[in-house]
Structure 1
Amino acid sequence: MSKPIATDQSQCFDPDGKAIPCQGTGQDGETRTGAPWPEPRFTDQGPCVLDNLTGLMWTKDANPEEFPLSWEEALAAVQAMNRDQAHGYSDWRLPTRPQLFSLISHTEINPALPKGHPFENVFAGYYWTADSCARFPNQAWYLHLGGARVFSGMKHGSYMVWPVRVDEPGPWRMAAPTGDRFITHENWAEDSLTGLGWMQTSSLPAKPVSWPQALELVRKLNEDDAMGFNDWRLPNIRELDSLIDLAAHTPALTPGHPFPHVELGYWSSTTSVYDPSYAWVLYTQDGRIGVGFKTGEDFFAWPVRSL
């Protein structure tokens, strides 16, 4: 089991983006679920930095190639590092999408990296991952280190390169999806990969709602002891992202999943600190991570609980 990494969000915000007390909000800043970060999060090892949470080693220079490259050029640049045994290692690679996303802070912007990180030369823009987009194979996933959005783009586009290697396994594991990951119960499903329980009716109500409406919906579910539980919550953005299987699309969920109707977009409980009048949203068609204006009735709520 690989519980999603906790975000570092500790504040809560109203729909207009004003900071408010967290008690009773049901927001990410209150629930604080997920695998905790170690202290210190990073160990500076000179030209390299070890992430003590994931066991991944990154180049301390977050832009060693200096200029943006195409996806194929990025892969070739990492191969050249291995031929040259850069920093004493020959197993550098372009990070996968989960690996690069694991670095993200949901409290800091420009760059969206954890406060006090030791990295240098960080570009607050787009960085390539090693993962192709299943829906559009001529595209690959990239992540915006200014604000943390995750999108895919044409492989002939030009983005930054940040090499990574696996040093020693950290306390958090990046488990791969399997075909039998979900265990169904009455009206809800257990994700054996993450230890989360999801409502099988993944669109409550059967129309898009605003962010405040989504939070209120979950509060009422708990008042009603929905399905015998009173600990439902709106998932944070990392918990929503944990559902994604990058090998699938439309929806980007593991084949054989038990959810009868998956909507195109879901609210998370995590506010975007780039503009706190927006909250993070998962788009299920291929797994994009973007934001939605909190007062817009544009997305759905998918309640979750920890098991």
Structure 2
Amino acid sequence: MQAGVPWPSSRFTDNGNQTITDTMTGLTWVSNPNLMSTRDPSFDNDSTPQDGRVYWQHALDYVAKLNTEKYLGFSDWRLPNVVELLSLDNTSLYRSYYYWSSNTDPLDSSNAIYISMSVGTPTSVTKIDPAHFFVLPVRGQADSTTSAALRKTGQTTKYAAGDDGDLQAGVAWPTPRFVENGDGTVTDKLTGLIWLQYANCFGNMDWYNALTTANTLASGACGLSDGSTAGQWRLPNVKELESLVDFQQQAPPVPVDSPFLFSNLQAVYWSSTVYQVYPAVDQQYLYTISPTGFKWFARSDSLLAAWPVRGGQMKLTTTLAGTGSGTITGSPVSASCSSGSCTSLHDQGTVVTLTATPNAGSLFVGWSGACTGSGTCSVTVDAAKTVTATFDQAAKLTVGIFGKGTVTSNPSGISCSTGTCFAYFPKNSSVVLYHTEAYGYTFSAWTSICPGTGDCTVNLTGNLYIPATFAAQDNVRRNLLTTPYGTLTTAYEAAVTSDVLKAKTMTFLESLSLGRDISVVLQGGYDPAFGTPSDFTSVEGGLTIAAGSVTLDRIIIK
């Protein structure tokens, strides 16, 4: 069935600096499986000196040494917790090693947990075990590009500086983490998994019967009234069973607020995961959930309990960022968010649509994480994903047009050719305004903020108004008036009956359309001072008379 987050095609990246990054979890590991023996052999004086195997406290001390020395330029190395070490299970890395985790056994504080990387099993031993174990430093955490952020282990008691109870690395658990659905099921808000609330409905059985029984479970059995049908439930894999373990608790090692029926909780549960070391002899992974939560393996004909799970819902985190404010509207609506950071659970593969709307005085800048750009965001929730909408405080830039021309902006937002136009830009940002004259007009001035006639660059510390003046060229006049008109069309639009429209000696590149019920004279051939006409004026674009009349004098229509 292969439930869970799919692995990236290239999960591990060699950083070329003696570290390896797990792109699925966001963790960075040292690439040397026995760093202490290679780099600091004299640090190890336990039992067999210089072999890199030390007591638990000395493992913590060694990581502290690396941080003091800023190994590879970093001072945030840590001894990995048990969940972090188990994330390397089933990989080819560090297979022949046994590593200390930073976790203390909650049943016995003189014991700590180590991981056998060859079989992926956590085991509790005394912190001064004579065999000792190796140290595998790790650093980093998940980010918005990480598909499988690792949870906290649950251990909150600090037994030593730098241990898991001290650092508590990982994704915080929701509060409450578990929700009793009232239909015989419990939803884990951390993983999105839905568990059968009755933790031992079937009694003990062999592995094959456990697989079949879990898969055929349906509403009406085991206290279920959830409408589920056969085929929706399954036997959990080993990682899903591991997700229930709270390493702060003892027996049972599950979170104290989980609403499972503990009177039915069993010591050992089947997982659906085959133990790959001995698949030929028909042995499968089993998971012991009591008293320590550690997994081991057993033959498939052993008689153990089954605890069905379904769902595989994935978490979508929607976050609002920036200096402004706004809302994210989701479809489904559960993905909506109006402040801070919000989480929602969706069936794996669900396509969620998100729309960002800025509040008054704010501007939507764009998406980041699983979406980019500034339009509607569509994200397929096939793994845990994060989408961030950034809103910045906005300043309103208003442009007024006087005369005829167009003003545009960079960044885009303003494109204005008449009246007043406005757009919102991030507060304290710079905006450049450009002007383009209409035919027959010359750009004459911005406001005093931008002297001259070039481009206008403004810093929006607040709302701002910028007028742009385009002056008509002195190409046409009416009668003896000195008011200039840049085109024949604008002069005609201002004319009254019996006006004489005096045009300079030039070629007008316009189509002259007369549609008013007035009579005018169009007289051409004037010099720049508009004295006595002595030449001709051309109109390239034609003349159309739809109403009224016109007398042409020294006018050439082309």
> TM-score band (shorter)?
0.7 to 0.9
Gaps of 5+ in 1: 1-30, 106-112
The equivalent residue for 1:50 is 21
The equivalent residue for 1:91 is 76
What displacement does 1:222 show?
4.6
Match of 2:21, as an amino acid?
A: L
**Contact 1:62-1:123 at 8 Å conserved across structures:** no
**Contact 2:142-2:149 at 8 Å conserved across structures:** no
Match of 1:32, as an amino acid?
A: Q
The equivalent residue for 1:218 is 214
Q: Percent identity?
A: 31
RMSD, aligned CA? 1.8
2:97 matched to 1:125? yes
2:89 matched to 1:104? yes
Provide the aligned length of Structure 1 versus Structure 2.
262
The equivalent residue for 1:293 is 299
What displacement does 1:220 show?
2.7
Using structure 2 for the length normalisation, give the TM-score: 0.45
| Separation of aligned partners in 1, 2:215 and 2:2 | 17
**3-state DSSP class of the match of 2:298?**
strand
What displacement does 1:245 show?
0.9
| Separation of aligned partners in 2, 1:80 and 1:218 | 49
The equivalent residue for 1:203 is 200
2:303 matched to 1:303? no
**Contact 2:53-2:134 at 8 Å conserved across structures:** yes
What displacement does 1:178 show?
5.0
Q: Spell out, residue by residue over 1:160-206, the C-alpha distance to the aligned partner (whole angstroms, 9 max, x if none).
A: 1100001662232223345511111211101111100000111131x
Match of 1:300, as an amino acid?
A: A
The equivalent residue for 1:278 is 283
Q: 1:166 aligns with which of 140, 143, 146?
A: 140
2:112 matched to 1:140? yes
Which structure 1 residue ranges, 4+ long, deviate > 4 Å from structure 2? Answer: 222-226
**3-state DSSP class of the match of 2:36?**
coil
Match of 2:295, as an amino acid?
A: I
Match of 1:281, as an amino acid?
A: L
Give the structure with higher Rg (CA).
2
The equivalent residue for 1:184 is 180
Q: 1:50 to 1:77 in 2, by over 3 A?
A: same
**3-state DSSP class of the match of 2:253?**
coil
The equivalent residue for 2:438 is none
| Separation of aligned partners in 2, 1:271 and 1:200 | 25
Q: Spell out, residue by residue over 1:223-261, the C-alpha distance to the aligned partner (whole angstroms, 9 max, x if none).
A: 978642120000000000001111112011000211112
Structure number with higher strand proportion: 2
**3-state DSSP class of the match of 1:82?**
helix
Higher relative contact order (CA 8 A, sep 6+): 1
| Separation of aligned partners in 2, 1:160 and 1:194 | 31
Q: Spell out, residue by residue over 1:119-165, the C-alpha distance to the aligned partner (whole angstroms, 9 max, x if none).
A: 5xx36132111011111111111111111112111111211110000
**3-state DSSP class of the match of 1:61?**
coil
Using structure 1 for the length normalisation, give the TM-score: 0.81
| Separation of aligned partners in 1, 2:211 and 2:248 | 31
| Separation of aligned partners in 2, 1:94 and 1:195 | 28
Q: Which moved more, 1:168-177 or 1:84-93?
A: 168-177
